[in-house]
Amino acid sequence: MASSMKRLKAADMRLLTALWQELADAPAAECDAALRHCLEQLCGLIGACNAIWVGARRQPAPETDDPLRGWRIHGVEHLHHQERRLAMARELASHLDAGQTDPYLAAVIRHAGRTRSHLRTELMNDKDWRSSWIVREALEDERIDDRLEGGHAISVGCESHFALDRRQDERPFNDYERDLLCFFLLGSRTFQRELLLSRGLASAFSPFSLRECDVLKLLLTDASEREIAIHLGIGYRTAHQHAASIYAKLGVRGRQGLMALWLRGGKTGL
């Protein structure tokens, strides 16, 4: 990686440094907005028609014959075509739960456990790429024909992934752009950790529900539980129950522990 870093242009280094700073300065309660800004900036910096973030977590005791080695997708955000692609992601999840696999996902998982970025041709050949359900059902209508994929291992069983797409009428990604994505991943570890924490993917328990995500965003501000209840249009008891569930899933005792976890990593080991 050191030799790759030497090849990075000074202008790109300045843009990456600025992006890292913007993500670091983003308020904890505005993680979703920061993620969208991040995807927009990556599309512009590297050059892509769409950008995707994926949070993946490994099941504690995966089946020995599981082609994905226990890894499952638990959080997805798309810069463009969000609703359509999320519907496809739900359908893909049902296929995986039914024991089916996908050659693209299997290729990505083979490299789990370290920070990396890959050109699509480094992950798989053209035949396997076109046999992927993701490519046939989710990307073909958008005329996507190339992808740059990068993953960051936040912990042994938790990873953050970014993927960039290009259409058939655009040139394929190159080595320089692959290295640029990898360098972004290395410098944005704290932000990626917060993305996973904000969705409950950093704990050993179930991910947060949509309502728990809403409550968490407000717990990260100075709003009281009563104010959170009013803001969300729910009862105080319900807001308190959601807060208690969030603390339990993250392994902290209360709001002070939550804030300490966000700052230091706490019991998740992140």
CB 49 within 8 A of CB 61: no
CA distance 147 to 164: 6
Instruction: Find the mean pLDDT for residues 78-102.
Output: 78
Instruction: Give burial (CB, 10 Å; 0-12/13-18/19+) of 254.
Output: exposed
210-268 has the same fold as 2-197: no
CA distance 250 to 268: 7
Over the stretch 131-143, which tens digit does the pLDDT of each residue have?
Answer: 888 888 778 888 9
Please check whether the domain covering 210-268 is classified as CATH 1.10.10.10. Answer: yes
CA distance 268 to 57: 13
Over the stretch 70-89, which tens digit does the pLDDT of each residue have?
Answer: 788 888 899 888 788 878 87
Of the candidates 179, 207, 181, 180, the one whose C-alpha atom is nearest the C-alpha of residue 195 is 207
Fold exhibited by the domain 2-197: Beta-Lactamase (3.30.450)
Buried b (16+ CB within 10 A) or exposed e, 204-223: eeebbeeebbbbbbbbbeeb
**Least confident range of 3-7, 96-100, 187-191, 240-244:** 3-7
Where do the domains of the chain lie? 2-197, 210-268
The residues near 193 (Cβ < 8 Å, ≥ 6 apart) are: 154, 160, 202, 265, 270
Over the stretch 210-250, which tens digit does the pLDDT of each residue have?
Answer: 898 889 888 888 889 999 999 999 999 999 999 999 888 88
Strand order in the sheet with 116-119: 71-78, 50-58, 158-167, 144-155, 116-119
CA distance 49 to 29: 28
